[in-house]
Amino acid sequence: MITFIISLVALVLGYLVYGAIVERVMRPDDRETPAIRLADGVDYVALPTWKVFMIQFLNIAGTGPIFGAIMGMWFGPASYLWIVLGCIFAGAVHDFMSGMLSLRHDGANLPTLIGKYLGNGTRVVMLIFTVLLLMMVGAVFVYSPALILKDMWGGDDATIWWIVTIFVYYVVATLLPIDKIIGRVYPLFAIALLVMAAGLLVGLFVKMPHLPELWNMGDLSQWTGSHVVDGKDTLGVTAYLQKNPIFPCLFITIACGAISGFHATQSPLMARCLKSERLARPVFYGAMITEGIVALIWATVSSYFFYYGGWKEVVSPEQVTEFMAQVQLADGKTLIQYFTAPQVVNLVCSGWLGIVGGTLAVLGVVAAPITSGDTAFRSARLIIAEALHFEQKSMVRRLMISVPLFVASLLLLIWQMENPNGFNVLWQYFGWSNQALSVFTLWMITVYLARNHKAYIITLIPAIFMTVVCTSFLIASPQALGHGEWTPWVAMAVIVVAVVWFSAWLRKNRTVTPPSR
């Protein structure tokens, strides 16, 4: 628990100290925001600050800081380092800066900002890339909450009905003005998600369980020893790490709890609703720190669940017997294969928080991906409208863009359901694409800061690091080339190329644009 407590304090201090430093780089002022200057009653709508925060938090949360943190903890306590350092120095900076740039450019969407600072060719590529990513988000975040809901109500036969229900909601929420559904319902869902996190946090401090600590992360035997049955590693971490090396796979697995390119597509939505630039730090930087805390809590809970046998406290005796029988077989599942991330959520919430608290917590977990899914479609609609110069006050114009998006996402969803491993494949593509988008966003922000004689180092280092991560993943991942032995050489080559390229660009371009606020 010591590592967890230190990490929790570090995230709070990160907001108070480093968040203030990052804020001074952009110097928010009292200029009129897009929500006031360009108000249209549909997407540009000034909302109360607390609502903007709650919507931003729920938009970026999804299942990432929950499912990603659960799977990320299979890499051990190193996950704590990535959640804390990634959130403070990369993710929160990424979200704050993309939100501030949108505020300074009339609520512009990400591809437009990338085109302005990285060139029109990059803008076209990122326009296509971003829309495809958002459609994947919509498809993934229909299926995952439907699986949880069918376990709660309806059984296996109800899956298709939950998918239809969620998708119908997506259509309505995407087309209506932002204050009609999103502005009214999202804050309630966000509260449910935060209540769930608070309940689990209290549970951790009440139980004070023995957990893996950061200084023991090199000794797997300390946590896995209790899971050896007849010489077989029933936990399965050793085999998992052999296939998925900690670098770079950890940094792809835990995305939303540390840094996520998807967030840069969501920040412009709230940049169009903020009443003042001075609210950008609590809304954008603060929402990301809050998400980091949620990820930290779930990483800790799953650590106890998997490594120290906490699963035996929250599952039925029949499930324990069934699992222990399976691991006796030559082809038996390991613990991390037997209990999937959605199952861990269900079991922990109901086992720790009781019927009422557990139901509220699971509803929060269900609401998070659903609300990220519908705002993904909304972002895609606005991005395409901005590229085609289609006004969005008219419902007909909104339908002209939205209908093809929904049809394409439905086809992707059908493919996912018809393939036995479709969800896992789509999630892997989503995970890498998500982090690749953060690379482009960080480089775009770095160019902006350098051109305007601001402290570009705050995004240059995360930009280089995430470039190395995404490139190395293509080399090391078993789902890609699977040549992990090349990773160090590829990483060093990417660092050299990135530093040389940026240095050359800086010498040529930095003095072109005068400093600006």
For 176-199, how does the pLDDT look when each residue is reduced to its tens digit (9 = 90+)? 887 777 777 778 778 877 888 888
Please tell me the predicted confidence (pLDDT) of residue 25. Answer: 95
Looking at the domain assignment, is residue 451 inside a domain?
Answer: no
Per-residue pLDDT tens for 289-312?
999 999 999 999 888 888 777 777
In the structure, what pLDDT confidence band is assigned to residue 333 with cuts at 50, 70 and 90?
Answer: low
The answer on pLDDT for 12 being more than 70 is yes
Cβ atoms of residues 241 and 466 within 8 Å: no
Number of domains in the chain: 1
Structure tokens at 363: 């509803």
- The residue ranking higher by pLDDT, 352 or 298, is 298
- The residue ranking higher by pLDDT, 272 or 516, is 272
Q: How many CB atoms lie within 10 A of CB 501?
A: 11
Please tell me the predicted confidence (pLDDT) of residue 225. Answer: 55
Place of tokens 């299926």: 143
Q: How far is CA 166 from CA 138, 172, 329, in A?
A: 10, 10, 39
The answer on pLDDT for 429 being more than 60 is yes
Dist CA 439 CA 433 (whole Å):
10
Cβ atoms of residues 281 and 3 within 8 Å: no
Please tell me the predicted confidence (pLDDT) of residue 382. Answer: 84
Minimum mean pLDDT range among 99-108, 180-189, 505-514: 505-514
When mean pLDDT is compared over 57-61, 206-210, 259-263, 482-486, the highest value belongs to: 259-263
In the structure, what pLDDT confidence band is assigned to residue 36 with cuts at 50, 70 and 90?
Answer: very high
Please tell me the predicted confidence (pLDDT) of residue 206. Answer: 86
Average pLDDT over residues 367-384: 80
For residue 459, what are the β-bridge partners? none
Looking at the domain assignment, is residue 91 inside a domain?
Answer: yes
Instruction: Return the CATH number at 244.
Output: 1.20.1740
pTM: 0.85
Looking at the domain assignment, is residue 512 inside a domain?
Answer: no
Beta strands 228-229 and 232-233 are: antiparallel
Cβ atoms of residues 127 and 387 within 8 Å: yes
Looking at the domain assignment, is residue 180 inside a domain?
Answer: yes
Looking at the domain assignment, is residue 482 inside a domain?
Answer: no
Looking at the domain assignment, is residue 470 inside a domain?
Answer: no
Please tell me the predicted confidence (pLDDT) of residue 296. Answer: 95
Looking at the domain assignment, is residue 164 inside a domain?
Answer: yes
Percent of the chain predicted with pLDDT > 90 = 30
Average pLDDT over residues 213-227: 65
Q: Which residues contact 346 (CB under 8 A, 6 or more apart)?
A: 148, 151, 152, 362
Average pLDDT of every residue of the chain:
82
- Which stretch of DSSP H or E encloses residue 276? none
Looking at the domain assignment, is residue 302 inside a domain?
Answer: yes
Please tell me the predicted confidence (pLDDT) of residue 393. Answer: 79
Dist CA 429 CA 426 (whole Å):
5
In the structure, what pLDDT confidence band is assigned to residue 462 with cuts at 50, 70 and 90?
Answer: very high
Structure tokens at 260: 């996520």
Per-residue pLDDT tens for 464-480?
999 999 999 888 776 65
The answer on pLDDT for 120 being more than 70 is yes
Please tell me the predicted confidence (pLDDT) of residue 52. Answer: 92
Dist CA 346 CA 193 (whole Å):
14
Dist CA 394 CA 386 (whole Å):
14
Place of tokens 């999202």: 186
Domain that holds residue 284: 2-437
- The residue ranking higher by pLDDT, 133 or 93, is 93
In the structure, what pLDDT confidence band is assigned to residue 105 with cuts at 50, 70 and 90?
Answer: very high
